[in-house]
């Protein structure tokens, strides 16, 4: 059967809707792809299928059918064959992307290990996986593990200094010892000397405590992480101490979004709108001096009506205003972890498909593959921060500021 080289959209949609096929999307996608392949083969031959033309340089010789797995299901792709030479649509039938192959590998591993068999059957079908043997899964997993291991252990020295670093932790579930237990995937992102963002590293720890963060940052510094001026994160347990122990001279910026949520937990619900408006007014100031002045006014206003909230806010002053030591051009990029939320959502989208991981190595395999793909996209994209503003930020003496704060605190205590 010959694939039509062109489509009448109205007629095609009318026919498909009249049949009321449950696989409408899959059939439409299959027809569209096959038409594109037929048109491309016509271009290679120099003339349309079945047409006589002096410009023709080749002729068709049937089709070879290949299964193409998509989210809509497995498509029967008819690849045109030529009498002379070969035609292969590399733009379509390329090898799976790393993250997609990692997801396939993890799901297949869960399936073969007998984890939630009924759920795995549905996931396997949704991914278009029909025949995967244990040996195929093993080969795929080994290739991915090697790539992710190389990515996670690469040297960071040549790309530095990393002026700004952001850290976060994601809670995932893994099956260990016959039980389902929570583990934490620690992720760090940095802005390199060229102004691009990089994935610095990822580790899986049993608990989100000081020992986990300390080991994570020690690994990063051992691989060459240096020149860090500011680390932005939520108030993870033990993180600040780990930063002080491994990145001397780096200050810590508490994510303004997460802190706002924490402040609301100490605020009566009837006052949420008022307190939020006051807190946002601090960040809307034009310069560092105005930010600190407005912060003082907000604390004074809260002291009269909500003294507990005022104490909570005043105690976090140094943590949430650390960004003011740097040029205003970078404030939006460094005062919260919001710029990295898109990456977190992508990781969640992939990990939610699996649900419960069969082991920790499968977490590293999937999360590491997602991070490696994002790393490549950032490297090829435009700069996240300009070189001039990075130079100004590197010139900020955070050690002097830290020493001044310590002397002031000692004087007040005395």
The answer to whether residue 264 scores a pLDDT higher than 90 is yes
* Per-residue pLDDT at 45: 87
The answer to whether residue 99 scores a pLDDT higher than 60 is no
**Distances from the Cα of 255 to the Cαs of 2, 34, 232, 234, 319, in angstroms?**
60, 50, 6, 5, 9
Say which range, 333-337, 343-347, 402-406, has the weakest mean pLDDT.
402-406
Place 405 in a pLDDT band, splitting at 50, 70 and 90: very low
Q: What is the mean pLDDT of residues 43-60?
A: 85
Task: Name which residue leads in pLDDT, 321 or 211.
Answer: 321
The two structure tokens encoding residue 313: 């806010």
How far is it, in rounded angstroms, from Cα 70 to Cα 209? 41
How far is it, in rounded angstroms, from Cα 220 to Cα 215? 9
**Distances from the Cα of 195 to the Cαs of 100, 167, 340, 392, in angstroms?**
28, 18, 16, 13
With contact defined as beta carbons under 8 Å apart, do 298 and 219 qualify?
no
Beta strand 60-70 pairing with 73-82: antiparallel
The answer to whether residue 92 scores a pLDDT higher than 90 is no
Place 393 in a pLDDT band, splitting at 50, 70 and 90: very high
With contact defined as beta carbons under 8 Å apart, do 37 and 89 qualify?
yes
* Per-residue pLDDT at 207: 78
* Per-residue pLDDT at 414: 38
The answer to whether residue 407 scores a pLDDT higher than 50 is no
Say which range, 32-36, 57-61, 152-156, 302-306, has the weakest mean pLDDT.
32-36
Q: What is the pLDDT of residues 108-129, one digit of tens each?
A: 555 444 444 455 455 555 555 5
Whole-structure pTM value:
0.68
């Amino acid at each position: 059967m010959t694939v039509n080289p062109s489509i009448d959209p109205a007629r095609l949609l009318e026919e498909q809707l009249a049949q009321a096929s449950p696989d409408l999307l899959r059939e439409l996608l299959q027809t569209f792809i096959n038409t594109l392949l037929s048109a491309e083969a016509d271009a290679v031959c120099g003339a349309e299928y079945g047409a006589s033309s002096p410009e023709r340089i080749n002729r068709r010789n049937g089709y070879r059918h290949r299964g193409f797995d998509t989210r809509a299901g497995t498509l029967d792709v008819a690849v045109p064959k030529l009498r002379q030479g070969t035609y292969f649509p590399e733009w379509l039938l390329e090898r799976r992307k790393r993250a997609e192959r990692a997801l396939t590998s993890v799901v297949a591993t869960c399936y073969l290990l007998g984890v939630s068999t009924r759920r795995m059957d549905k996931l396997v079908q949704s991914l278009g996986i029909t025949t995967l043997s244990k040996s195929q899964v093993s080969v795929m997993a080994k290739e991915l593990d090697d790539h992710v291991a190389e990515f996670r252990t690469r040297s960071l020295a040549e790309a530095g200094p990393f002026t700004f670093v952001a850290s976060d932790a994601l809670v995932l579930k893994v099956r260990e010892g016959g039980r389902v237990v929570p583990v934490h995937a620690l992720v760090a992102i940095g802005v390199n000397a060229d102004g691009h963002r990089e994935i610095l590293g990822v580790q899986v720890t049993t608990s989100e405590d000081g020992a986990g963060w300390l080991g994570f940052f020690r690994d990063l510094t051992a691989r060459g992480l240096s020149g860090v001026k500011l680390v932005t994160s939520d108030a993870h347990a033990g993180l600040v101490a780990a930063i002080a122990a491994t990145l001397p001279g780096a200050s810590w910026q508490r994510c303004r979004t997460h802190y706002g949520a924490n402040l609301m937990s100490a605020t009566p619900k009837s006052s949420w709108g008022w307190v939020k408006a006051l807190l946002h007014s601090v960040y809307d100031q034009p310069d560092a001096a105005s930010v600190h002045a407005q912060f003082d006014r907000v604390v004074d206003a809260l002291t009269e009506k909500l003294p507990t909230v005022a104490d909570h806010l005043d105690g976090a002053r140094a943590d949430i205003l650390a960004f003011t030591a740097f040029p205003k051009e970078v404030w939006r990029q460094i005062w919260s972890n919001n710029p990295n939320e898109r990456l977190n959502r992508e990781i969640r989208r992939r990990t939610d498909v699996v649900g419960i991981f069969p082991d920790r190595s499968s977490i590293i395999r999937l999360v590491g593959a997602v991070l490696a793909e994002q790393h490549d996209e950032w490297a090829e994209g435009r700069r996240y921060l300009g070189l001039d503003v990075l130079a100004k930020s590197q010139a900020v003496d955070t050690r002097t500021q830290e020493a001044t704060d310590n002397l002031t605190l000692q004087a007040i205590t005395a």
